[in-house]
Structure 1
């Protein structure tokens, strides 16, 4: 018996700005109650978790159902090693490549609409059970007629409109905050993030970015970027070569050796920084589900919808700042910051020490060897530095494109903390510098 179309729609991401906003408002109330309960325990001398496992399960259930921008937010939350327990992070980490899947009938419908035929005709084999389900689409394992194994990402119907609505809801919040405080005007940064996220729904664009990223990393033998299968790719279906291995989040719980941890951490640093400095491109969605430790030891890179291309000016100034830091040279902090695109309402004598401290915190692994990422406090110390100096930092504005740069480098720092490697990372950054 054929499924009722209304039943299928019930299993797709919730539609409508108001409906999704209401769902998120209910979740927010539950999470807030959990946080308040934690605060009460802290007042009586206990050390509670910021978020309970039960609240984390509710978060995963709701955001997994909503998908879109809401699920992407959950992926970011799951990477925070400072404020969530390992148990809670493990629950939320399911959002990195697991979510309720769409019915097979819908998958078939999308493939027909986009590629013109059924899965059975398009592929020698097509596994109806998803290999992974994420924020914008789900991935199926398949085999081409020539025997090559591939991963087929099928976009959720209506997700482009859903994502747009999510970002419009968030935009209202940003505008409200901006009107309340001129210093806290984040509209330009939000617009940058909004435009980048909406572009991710175009899989033809993602296919082109994947091929570009492959060229940008071609000189790095330890990295692997999958080949695009153009004849099985369209605006809502993306077919890539299937990489064999374990995602970073699965690999890290397998108790790898200290040598393995250092090797993979080194590969991650190259995956983020090398293409940025050499080709102006950066993977700006670096959660652990987007990297894979392959069976041959290389690091596979996945999900190319958020590859960011930066302006030559931004890349050049950051490159020079990086080289000064690696070589332990003094630098014109404000001059280079302005070249990057920063503006400041503070006198240079006030702004300079603030930015110098940011560079000092971020540059710890470049100055000392060995460096231990297991005890790394870069993320925590950076948050404390910004919190203590918030009124003054609000008068220093980075360029809009820096949003994606910070998203990428911040995610890298969280991944390196997750891997907990120790070793000569100063030497690794010197290797990166040798490419420039």
Structure 2
């Protein structure tokens, strides 16, 4: 077995032991430094604490990055959802979005040989052995096909499926980690749903089908692009798609506010149009999965964590919006939450408390007016979501069917908050909600309406 393969540490015992060693190493470092902290000046004490935090964050990111799989996925989630996380840890964890430690060129080549029948230099006209992105399940290489198309080739880490299985079998450890990362949630539901989706994510055939579902639906859209899959160069462990270039999220942060607002509107439209019209949710919303172009155009990547919804799944969600936002029927709003499983039926709490607790998640659409989503607002949403001490905590939960949806909702708020995005979110939502079908409210909305007419052949 190669060193690169061993780095994945596939067994349950070895992966659990690695995390335990990491905790002891970081804890020991703080113990060793405590006398220096005690006798240092105020200024020096701050420097020492910052150095400790930075080194600890780097070690956590490096360890999770080398382990890949479930644990790295949790690190990715924490990096963009938790605005309250210390900046040193957020910065380190954000590397897990697309800059995890890659496998060697030889190991990546061996996967291509196994899956496509020959070395990549002969399968493709050109092959870049250095990956330009590496994440929790695989890494991505640039290539040129024999017929001259530029492509992105995602190559799965050998042994990653076994590593994920090992993590999921280590239920006690995993639930403790999830409980610490996401307090207030039923860890069983979150771990079970995340585990099922991750086991699907290692099947690139399934991911290719999901990506093509989105790509076909959004073909010709004025601002949303999803790269098409090249089925003839894709297998269960290799996924080849059209190569798209664009600005990263970090680069977008340096653009002017108008461009950031347009990008935010497009992401918002993609998330909710996909849910309410396509009945599909791309459950991996971290910033590394977007490429940005001027004028609000956004390319969406990585469809391994896709969740499909039925009309029955969506019915109570649509009812909740209608009753709270439009009809102001708060008892009916509560009943819709109970039907979906977010609130225990007959919970001994006043409906006004229910509206106060859950209504905050509809804050962007309660008023028909422009609203800026700030980092403080998105942080408040996350804190409210994970509040384990509120009056509704014993009676509320996220049903398994909606775990992935809530993940992307929180990710969306965090993303829009980072952009300080401003829009009349209510008007945009009314365009998309199937019970409203409102008129276009922005230039992007006008262009989208034209696209819809063309799709319908009108």
TM tier relative to shorter chain? 0.7 to 0.9
- Structure 2 residue 255 is matched with structure 1 residue 256: yes
Work out the CA distance in 2 between the residues paired with 1:60 and 1:381: 25
Work out the CA distance in 2 between the residues paired with 1:159 and 1:59: 19
Q: Kindly state the Cα deviation for residue 261 of structure 1 after the two structures are TM-superposed.
A: 1.1
For the 8 Å contact 1:326–1:430, the answer to whether it is kept is no
- Structure 2 residue 8 is matched with structure 1 residue 9: no
Structure 1 residues 280 and 76: CA distance shift in structure 2, 3 A: same
Q: Kindly state the Cα deviation for residue 422 of structure 1 after the two structures are TM-superposed.
A: 2.6
Work out the CA distance in 2 between the residues paired with 1:345 and 1:360: 18
Structure 1, residues 56-97: CA drift from partner, whole Å, max 9, x if none?
111111111111111111111211443234454223211100
Q: Kindly state the Cα deviation for residue 359 of structure 1 after the two structures are TM-superposed.
A: 3.2
Q: Kindly state the Cα deviation for residue 330 of structure 1 after the two structures are TM-superposed.
A: 3.3
> TM-score, normalized by length of structure 2?
0.82
Within-5 A mapping of 1:384-399: 384=384, 387=387, 389-390=389-390, 392-399=392-399
Work out the CA distance in 2 between the residues paired with 1:177 and 1:411: 17
Work out the CA distance in 1 between the residues paired with 2:409 and 2:401: 13
Structure 1, residues 262-284: CA drift from partner, whole Å, max 9, x if none?
10111111121111011221111
Work out the CA distance in 2 between the residues paired with 1:242 and 1:385: 37
Work out the CA distance in 1 between the residues paired with 2:79 and 2:51: 13
Partner of 2:446: none
Within-5 A mapping of 1:56-67: 56-67=57-68
Q: Kindly state the Cα deviation for residue 176 of structure 1 after the two structures are TM-superposed.
A: 12
- Structure 2 residue 167 is matched with structure 1 residue 163: no
Partner of 1:414: 414
Partner of 2:363: 364
Q: Kindly state the Cα deviation for residue 187 of structure 1 after the two structures are TM-superposed.
A: 2.6
For the 8 Å contact 1:142–1:149, the answer to whether it is kept is yes
Partner of 2:76: 75
Work out the CA distance in 1 between the residues paired with 2:309 and 2:139: 28
Work out the CA distance in 1 between the residues paired with 2:176 and 2:60: 26
Partner of 1:425: 425
Q: Kindly state the Cα deviation for residue 320 of structure 1 after the two structures are TM-superposed.
A: 3.0
Work out the CA distance in 2 between the residues paired with 1:219 and 1:204: 24
Partner of 1:374: 374
Partner of 2:315: 316
Partner of 2:111: 110
For the 8 Å contact 1:13–1:66, the answer to whether it is kept is yes
Within-5 A mapping of 1:321-360: 321-327=320-326, 329-331=328-330, 332-342=332-342, 344=344, 346-347=346-347, 350=349, 352-360=351-359
Structure 2: any 5+ residue segments left out of the alignment?
A: 439-458
For the 8 Å contact 1:217–1:274, the answer to whether it is kept is no
Structure 1: any 5+ residue segments left out of the alignment?
A: none
For the 8 Å contact 1:333–1:352, the answer to whether it is kept is no
3-state SS of 1:142 partner: strand
3-state SS of 2:299 partner: strand
3-state SS of 1:152 partner: strand
How many residue pairs align between the two structures? 420
For the 8 Å contact 2:378–2:417, the answer to whether it is kept is no
Work out the CA distance in 1 between the residues paired with 2:221 and 2:177: 45
Structure 1, residues 373-392: CA drift from partner, whole Å, max 9, x if none?
22542432552475364574
Partner of 1:28: 23
Q: Kindly state the Cα deviation for residue 314 of structure 1 after the two structures are TM-superposed.
A: 1.8
Farther off after superposition, 373-382 or 145-154? 373-382
For the 8 Å contact 1:100–1:133, the answer to whether it is kept is yes
Structure 1, residues 160-190: CA drift from partner, whole Å, max 9, x if none?
0001111221456549999xxxx98643442
Structure 1, residues 303-351: CA drift from partner, whole Å, max 9, x if none?
100011123212122123234455474351222113324451543x616
Work out the CA distance in 2 between the residues paired with 1:118 and 1:226: 25
Work out the CA distance in 2 between the residues paired with 1:31 and 1:377: 32
Q: Kindly state the Cα deviation for residue 393 of structure 1 after the two structures are TM-superposed.
A: 2.1
For the 8 Å contact 2:185–2:397, the answer to whether it is kept is no
